[in-house]
């Protein structure tokens, strides 16, 4: 029951890779990854929690080992990715889950919960922004791209897709960079460096502007459904600030905050402690 499995399932004609572990009789955690990673980012957390939870970590189209259709054959935007993951949820017959959302997992997860709030048991937010106050100066190349998608601005934004950009996301703000597995960085970069993938990622970076436009809708939804929420946040994140994390407390009453002295990927340094915080939280909040 506690074996970790690496699977694929067909959704809308695409092969969606996912990791699954734990007894299906236990509470389900749906792990939604961020950029530029994949379900691989949850490798430690899955092993930390698989004895007590049923864990499902899908990889989005265009990322990791899932299908990567060409841009002319697939609309790479957050609306479409959320539809794919919603249908993935239904394909696996998941009726209720705690959503853990990191980075891009936020825009994807929030869209699903706008349509299907009944799927949610509890909410865990890890460096996934939903407030304009959380945006930082490090995202200026993206702001410029959103304002004017010129060749020059696309080149500047594309720096985020280089090995230096990926290292920046992992190392900047970390307490001890020696705790961060180089394999995480180079795995992400391997998939970014595939032919056509940088165009796919630039398309999504440009589409992210539409997420900012609907932040207020997500905030209203959170205030309406009032999920028990755990905030896990690398407080030195160069893209999504601690101020943005704290803003969730203005809309959600039952909320718990845990900040870590690290950057955008807190699981790389602190997965053991984070797993304990998640287990403590869910043990109190889930009614079985």
Average pLDDT, the chain: 97
Considering the entire predicted model, what is its pTM?
A: 0.97
**pLDDT score, position 288:** 57
Q: Percentage of residues in the chain with pLDDT exceeding 70?
A: 99
Residue 287 above 90 pLDDT?
no
- pLDDT tens string 201-236: 999 999 999 999 999 999 999 999 999 999 999 999
Which among 134, 93, 97 is positioned nearest to 113, based on CA atoms?
97
Residues belonging to the active site:
264
H or E element that contains 99? strand 97-102
**pLDDT score, position 2:** 81
Query: Around Cβ 150, how many Cβ atoms within 10 Å?
Result: 11
- pLDDT tens string 10-27: 999 999 999 999 999 999
- pLDDT tens string 55-102: 999 999 999 999 999 999 999 999 999 999 999 999 999 999 999 999
């Amino acid at each position: 029951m506690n074996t970790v499995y690496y699977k694929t399932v067909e959704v809308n004609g695409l092969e969606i890779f996912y990791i699954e572990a734990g007894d299906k009789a236990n509470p389900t955690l749906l792990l939604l990854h961020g950029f530029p990673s994949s379900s691989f980012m949850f490798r430690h957390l899955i092993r930390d929690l698989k004895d007590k939870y049923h864990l499902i970590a899908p990889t989005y189209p265009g990322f990791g080992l899932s299908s990567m259709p060409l841009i002319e054959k697939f609309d790479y935007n957050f609306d479409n990715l959320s539809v794919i993951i919603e249908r993935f949820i239904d394909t696996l017959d998941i009726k209720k889950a705690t959503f853990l959302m990191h980075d891009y997992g936020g825009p994807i997860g929030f869209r699903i919960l706008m349509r299907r709030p009944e799927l949610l048991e509890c909410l865990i937010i890890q460096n996934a922004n939903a407030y304009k106050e959380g945006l930082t100066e490090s995202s200026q190349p993206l702001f410029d791209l959103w304002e004017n998608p010129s060749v020059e601005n696309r080149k500047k934004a594309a720096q985020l897709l280089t090995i230096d950009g990926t290292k920046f996301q992992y190392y900047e703000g970390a307490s001890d960079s020696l705790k961060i597995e180089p394999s995480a960085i180079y795995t992400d970069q391997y998939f970014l460096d595939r032919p056509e993938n940088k165009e796919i990622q630039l398309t999504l970076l440009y589409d992210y502007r539409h997420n900012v436009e609907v932040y207020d809708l997500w905030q209203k939804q959170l205030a309406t459904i009032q999920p028990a929420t755990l905030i896990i946040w690398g407080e030195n994140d160069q893209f999504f600030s601690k101020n943005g994390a704290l803003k969730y407390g203005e809309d959600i009453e039952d909320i718990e905050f845990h900040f870590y002295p690290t950057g955008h990927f807190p699981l790389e340094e602190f997965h053991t402690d984070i797993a304990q915080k998640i287990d403590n939280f869910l043990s109190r909040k889930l009614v079985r």
